[in-house]
Structure 1
Amino acid sequence: MLVTVIVSVVAGMVSGLASHYITNRKFLLPRKSKLAFHPGFLGEMFVGSIASLVGVAMFNPETMMDILKVSILAGISGQAFLLHNRLATEQVKTDEIQSISKKLTELEKKNKE
């Protein structure tokens, strides 16, 4: 059981690290800004490991090869989930910027009149 957990976590971390590199073309180090902490590649390794643990717990693979397959697939799926959330956040930001721009244009028109 312990070996299954360790293999699952390591495979998920490696798939998270690989996905991070593929997405960003480099490894982003953890950093802290004024507003938030950005975990960089460590965050994606963490999500990959948790996703692989959940995948192994759900599917209960029997052989080591099956454990690796499930862990890698779940780790990559966790990264897809993160990417989807990032895209949704960026879309909200874009919509808000467009709304603000539209309101500013309306205010400028009213001020000219």
Structure 2
Amino acid sequence: MLKDIIFSFVIGGVVGMIGHIRKHGKIIMPRKTKRFVYLGFFEEMLLGAIASLLLVVYISPNSYVEKMTISISAGIGGDLVLTGYKQFKQNDSD
């Protein structure tokens, strides 16, 4: 089970980082501003990894192909959730 957790966490994190690069065209490093700390690529990497981890633990697939497919789809889903949340906040402030 520990191998499944590590495998899904790594795959989800990689998918999150790829989504970050696709969205911004480069890797944005973490930085601290006056109001908050911006996590940069760690934000999307962690979201993809955690979404993947939760889904793999919940579904408990049998083969590595199923684990990889679920991890990739969860990582992409985590990226979409983050994008939707940012758009919601932007529309709410307008």
Query: What pairs with 1:16-95 in structure 2 (closer than 5 Å)?
Result: 16-94=16-94
- CA offset at residue 68 of structure 1? 0.6
Distance 2:6 2:44 in 1: 17
Identity %: 34
Query: Structure 2 unaligned runs (5+)?
Result: none
Distance (whole Å) between structure 1 residues aligned to residue 63 and residue 75 of structure 2: 18
CA RMSD across the alignment: 0.7
TM-score, reference length from structure 2: 0.96
Letter in 2 for 1:60: S
* Match of residue 3 from structure 1: 3
What SS is found at the alignment partner of 1:78? helix
Q: Is the 8 A contact 2:5 2:57 kept in 1?
A: no
Give the ranges of 4+ consecutive aligned residues of structure 1 lying more than 6 Å apart after TM superposition: none
1: distance between equivalents of 2:90 and 2:29?
Answer: 21
Q: CA deviation at 1:57?
A: 1.6
Separation in 2, partners of 1:29, 1:84: 22
Q: Which protein shows a greater Rg?
A: 1
Structure 1: give runs of 5+ residues left out of the alignment: 95-113
- The alignment of Structure 1 onto Structure 2 pairs a total of residues equal to 94
